[in-house]
């Protein structure tokens, strides 16, 4: 059952549950019922709910200064930019308020890059099954017809290839000289939790170098430790030209960032791009506090350890389950693909297991627990997911059975 509050546009089918309080990986509703959160606000609250240091930073900064506009220097923004660049190998940062906006900034860099090279009809190479956001340009970049339907005409200038397939990229490159950039996620989260192979990303990096394409990594979901490294591209030992961040960067305060190095870092000059709210003292101070905590507690490495435990646990309990097609993931991004559409599991997980999960691409149950979970909580997630899939109600008819 979904509720549709009548004064809100119906962009979401919401569960009829509302949380009033959280602590770490736990949430409570208004009746005091406790839930275990295995999605962290869709890869946002990586440090858990109500983290005392984040709360203190917000309160202190709110009492000093929230916003001055980017017409003036903002010390917290400069510090955050410098620290993110040091961690990622980038050189300059632009701050905005969301993942889609970070990608918009990257796409505008690609257009300026094309302009400098006098490419009149530039193309950005994007992937099947990708997700880059819901603004007009980012939904055109997104490889999911459901996101695009009804919003035609789409922003032009994108060409699409299958993910993790270097031959497809080479073939396209042989057909057109208009490609100026590639936009890609190191792990496709919304696309069903698929990781690109390291060899593919290295070959793609090489192709970008040969052709003068900007390699732009959408790290909105994978960045900030989620995959067991600070950034997903680091697993492949490459460095992109542009990266975009958002979700985990603010642990719940809205902040996005587009980082670049080399020539791409100097493409924007005054007048090219802007954001009224972007990078204000509040969100940037929170971003710095997120980095303080992550560095001190070595959370990217923790995510790698916990992620291995999560995948091993899922494999041990569900590896032989008749409905399970595949169990995959990287760090604390895990997907369990079933042989059927399983959207109904989200509500049943809440009601029956007091567990927050998501389902992507209709058939993949996705887990994105906070990086601060302890071992017992990771094990508890496995137990509840296994119980969810073990109960008879989960045995809906498979596709083949329906055909028969
Ligand atoms: C969530 C997401 C976005 C969009 O971020 P918003 O903050 O919702 O605009 C873009 N790219 C990826 C990979 C994402 O997971």
- pLDDT band, residue 22 (cuts 50/70/90): very high
Q: Look-up: residue for tokens 């994108």?
A: 158
Q: Please state, rounded to an integer, the average pLDDT across all residues of the chain.
A: 95
Our mutation pick for probing the ligand 1 site, out of 39, 46, 131, counting the most ligand atoms within 8 A of Cβ, is 131
Q: Which pLDDT score is estimated for 151?
A: 98
List the beta strands (DSSP E) in 229-332: 242-245, 256-260, 324-330
Q: Which pLDDT score is estimated for 285?
A: 98
What is the whole-number distance in angstroms between the Cα of residue 131 and the centre of ligand 1?
A: 7
Q: Which pLDDT score is estimated for 1?
A: 47
- Name the residue among 138, 190, 186, 140 with its Cα closest to residue 163: 186
DSSP conformational letter for 253: B
In ligand 1, the atom with minimum distance to the C-alpha of 188 is 13
How many CA within 13 A on the CB side of residue 189? 22
Token pair, residue 396, equals 């809906």
pLDDT in tens, 112-160: 999 999 999 999 999 999 999 999 999 999 999 999 999 999 999 999 9
Give the rounded percent of residues in the chain with a pLDDT score beyond 90. Answer: 95
What is the whole-number distance in angstroms between the Cα of residue 11 and the centre of ligand 1?
A: 16
Domains observed in the chain:
5-52+298-403 (3.90.1150.10), 65-297 (3.40.640.10)
In ligand 1, the atom with minimum distance to the C-alpha of 138 is 10
Our mutation pick for probing the ligand 1 site, out of 39, 95, 99, 277, counting the most ligand atoms within 8 A of Cβ, is 99
Our mutation pick for probing the ligand 1 site, out of 132, 193, 231, 283, counting the most ligand atoms within 8 A of Cβ, is 132
The phi, psi pair for 287, rounded to 5°, reads -60, -40
Burial profile 140-154: b = 16 or more Cβ within 10 angstroms, e = fewer:
bbbbbeebeeeeeee
118, 343, 389 from 402: Cα distances, Å? 55, 17, 19
Is the Cα dihedral 372, 239, 263, 105 positive or negative?
A: negative
Give the lowest-confidence range in 9-13, 31-35, 280-284: 9-13
Residue 220 Cβ inside 6 Å of ligand 1? The answer reads yes
Other C-beta atoms lying within 10 Å of the C-beta of residue 25: 24
Residue 241 Cβ inside 6 Å of ligand 1? The answer reads no
Residue ranges in 159-265 assigned as alpha helix (H): 166-175, 198-211
List the beta strands (DSSP E) in 77-178: 92-96, 123-127, 158-161
Q: Which pLDDT score is estimated for 5?
A: 80
Cα gap 399→397, rounded to integer Å: 7
In ligand 1, the atom with minimum distance to the C-alpha of 101 is 9
DSSP conformational letter for 196: P
Give the burial class of 271: count Cβ atoms within 10 A of its Cβ; 0-12 exposed, 13-18 middle, 19 or more buried: exposed
pLDDT in tens, 299-317: 999 999 999 999 999 999 9
Give the rounded percent of residues in the chain with a pLDDT score beyond 70. Answer: 96
In ligand 1, the atom with minimum distance to the C-alpha of 219 is 13
Q: Please compute the mean of the pLDDT values over residues 271-291 and round it to a whole number.
A: 98
Residue whose CA is closest, atom 15 of ligand 1? 221
Contact 242, 264 (CB under 8 A): yes
Residues 6+ apart with CB under 8 A from 245: 84, 99, 102, 219, 220, 223, 224, 256, 257, 258, 259
pLDDT exceeds 50 at position 94: yes
Query: What's the CA dihedral at 297, 299, 302, 306 to 10 degrees?
Result: 130
- pLDDT band, residue 392 (cuts 50/70/90): low
Cα gap 232→4, rounded to integer Å: 37
pLDDT in tens, 163-221: 999 999 999 999 999 999 999 999 999 999 999 999 999 999 999 999 999 999 999 99
Q: Please compute the mean of the pLDDT values over residues 318-337 and round it to a whole number.
A: 97
pLDDT exceeds 80 at position 404: no
Give the lowest-confidence range in 7-11, 101-105, 282-286, 332-336: 7-11
Q: Which pLDDT score is estimated for 393?
A: 54
Contact 301, 228 (CB under 8 A): yes
Q: Which pLDDT score is estimated for 3?
A: 57
The phi, psi pair for 390, rounded to 5°, reads -85, -25
Cα gap 233→89, rounded to integer Å: 11
Annotated binding site for pyridoxal 5'-phosphate: 99-100, 131, 218-221, 276
Rounded to the nearest angstrom, the gap between the alpha carbon of residue 233 and the centroid of all alpha carbons in its chain is 13
In ligand 1, the atom with minimum distance to the C-alpha of 134 is 9
Residues 6+ apart with CB under 8 A from 396: 340, 344
Cα gap 40→357, rounded to integer Å: 9
Residue 222 Cβ inside 6 Å of ligand 1? The answer reads no
Q: What pTM value is reported for the model?
A: 0.96
pLDDT exceeds 90 at position 400: no
Cα gap 187→347, rounded to integer Å: 26
pLDDT exceeds 50 at position 394: no
Rounded to the nearest angstrom, the gap between the alpha carbon of residue 112 and the centroid of all alpha carbons in its chain is 25
DSSP conformational letter for 313: H
Token pair, residue 116, equals 């400098």
pLDDT exceeds 80 at position 287: yes
pLDDT in tens, 219-274: 999 999 999 999 999 999 999 999 999 999 999 999 999 999 999 999 999 999 99
Residue 131 Cβ inside 6 Å of ligand 1? The answer reads yes
């Amino acid at each position: 059952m979904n509720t549709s509050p009548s004064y809100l546009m119906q962009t979401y089918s919401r569960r009829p549950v509302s949380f009033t309080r959280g602590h770490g990986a736990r949430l409570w509703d208004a009746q005091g019922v406790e839930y275990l959160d295995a999605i962290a606000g869709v890869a946002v609250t990586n440090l858990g709910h109500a983290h005392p240091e984040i709360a203190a930073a917000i309160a202190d900064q709110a009492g000093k200064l929230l916003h001055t506009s980017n017409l003036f220097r903002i010390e917290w923004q400069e510090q955050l930019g410098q620290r993110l660049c040091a961690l990622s190998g980038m050189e300059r940062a632009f701050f905005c308020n969301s993942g889609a906006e970070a990608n918009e900034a990257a796409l505008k860099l690609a257009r300026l890059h094309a302009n400098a090279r006098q490419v009149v009809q530039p193309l950005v190479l994007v992937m099947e099954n990708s997700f880059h956001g819901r603004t007009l340009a980012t939904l055109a970049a997104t490889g999911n017809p459901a996101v695009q339907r009804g919003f035609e005409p789409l922003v032009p200038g994108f060409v699409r290839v299958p993910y993790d397939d270097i031959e497809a990229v080479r073939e396209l490159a042989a057909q057109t000289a208009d490609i100026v950039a590639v936009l890609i996620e190191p792990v496709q989260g919304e696309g069903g939790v698929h990781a690109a192979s390291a060899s593919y990303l290295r070959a793609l990096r090489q192709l970008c170098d040969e052709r003068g394409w900007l390699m732009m990594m959408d790290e909105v979901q994978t960045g900030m430790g989620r995959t067991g490294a600070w950034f997903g591209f680091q697993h492949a030992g490459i460095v992109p030209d542009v990266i975009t961040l958002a979700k985990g960067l603010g642990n719940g305060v809205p902040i996005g960032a587009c980082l670049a190095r080399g020539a791409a870092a100097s493409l924007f000059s005054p007048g090219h791009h802007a954001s009224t709210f972007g990078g204000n003292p509040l969100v940037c101070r929170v971003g710095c506090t997120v980095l303080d905590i992550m560095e001190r507690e070595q959370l990217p490495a923790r995510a790698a350890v916990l992620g291995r435990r999560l995948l091993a646990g899922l494999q041990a309990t569900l590896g032989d389950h008749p409905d399970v097609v595949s169990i995959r993931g990287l760090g604390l991004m895990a997907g369990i693909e079933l042989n059927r559409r399983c959207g109904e599991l989200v509500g049943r997980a809440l009601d029956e297991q007091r567990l927050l999960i998501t389902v992507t691409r209709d058939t993949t149950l996705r887990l994105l627990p906070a990086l601060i979970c302890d071992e017992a909580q990771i094990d508890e997630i496995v137990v509840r997911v296994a119980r969810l899939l073990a109960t008879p109600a989960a045995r809906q008819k498979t596709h083949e059975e329906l055909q028969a």
